[in-house]
Amino acid sequence: MTTNYGASLGTVNLKTGSSKYFNIYDTWGEDTTYEIYEIKKINGSQYKIFATSGTTPLRKLGEKVHDISLQGRRRFFNGVMVDYAVGSNLKKLVEKYGTRLTGYTYK
């Protein structure tokens, strides 16, 4: 299992790009890859998004990760990378994962 270290973006709206701190589409443009992680829960799957600079994901599809906060070193989640999108192509994933996902960034 790989460990990711990141900072929270709060809830990210995949349609508009708005997050707790800024608009991801306006700020990062097309030079960002958004990795989608699935977290298995008793009541079904939950999805989280992790942003990284560049146009290729840091992780491979199917890779298990343990994500930890940079600020508090507390655990965000354990999950599996199930999908990714580059830049505004993230909008196309709304139908699969919903309009709002909790977001994090490596940046």
Residue 69: other Cβ atoms inside 10 A:
14
Per domain, the residue ranges of the chain are 2-105
**How confident is the model at residue 2, as a pLDDT?**
65
With bands split at pLDDT 50, 70 and 90, how would you rate the model's confidence at 40? confident
More reliable by pLDDT, 69 or 95: 95
| Calpha distance 64→9 (Å, rounded) | 21
The amino acid at 7:
A
Least confident of 23-32, 58-67, 90-99: 58-67
DSSP 39-71: EEETTEEEEEEEEEESSS-SS-TT-EEEEEETT
The answer to whether residues 65 and 2 touch, using CB atoms and an 8 Å cutoff, is yes
For residue 77, pLDDT beyond 80: no
